[in-house]
Structure 1
Amino acid sequence: MVFIGKNRLVVGALAIIFVWWAYKLLTQAYRGIFQKKCLHLVHIGGGLRFSTSRPPHTGKQAVIFGIFFTIIGIFCLIAVMFIIIFLYI
C-alpha cells in the first residue's frame, strides 16, 4: 500500500479501471432490472466483460442478475472512493 500511496499514476489508473467496471456493471444492471434483459458477465484475466456469444439473461433471471451487478458496481464505486482517499493522504 505504501507503493500505491506514493505513485499517483498507479492510483489514478486503478481509479479509472474501477470507474469503467462500475459503468459497465451498472448499465447492464439497468438493462436487467428495467428492460428484463442483460448480458452474461465474463471474468477474463483481471478484467470484466460481457459475453455477446451466449444468449442474454431474460425475465426474472435478468432482474436477479441486475441486482447482483448493482451490488458489484456499488462496491467498485466504494473502491474508487477509498483509492481517492489514499491518493490524498
Structure 2
Amino acid sequence: MTEGQKQAYFQEAEKKAVRYFKDKFELDVVITSKELLPEMALDSIALEGHVTEHQDQEFTISYDYTEKKMKNFGMSPAIKEAIIAKGYDPFEK
C-alpha cells in the first residue's frame, strides 16, 4: 500500500467513525489516533478517540476499509453511561 492510499484510508476511516457516532448515538467525537493494522491479517484501521469536550468518554473502534464498515467498538465506562443516558443501547448491533 502506498503512503497516499494509506492517508486516503485514514481520512475515510475518521470520517466514517465520526458519522457512526453521530448517527447511532447522537455524539460528537474526536479521533485521537489511527493505526493501520497488519495487512496480512486484517483490512482494518484501528481508531481511538473520545466524545468532544469529554476526554473521559473514550472509545476504540476499527474500520474495515474493504467492507466499508465499522467493527469492534470498545468503550470506557464513561461513554457507556453517556450512551445509555441518551436512551441508546451501546451493545445493540
TM over 0.5: no
- Would you tell me which structure has more helix in proportion to its own residues? 1
- Would you tell me which structure has more strand in proportion to its own residues? 2
- Normalising to structure 1: TM-score of the pair? 0.32
Higher relative CO (Cα under 8 Å, sequence separation at least 6) belongs to: 1
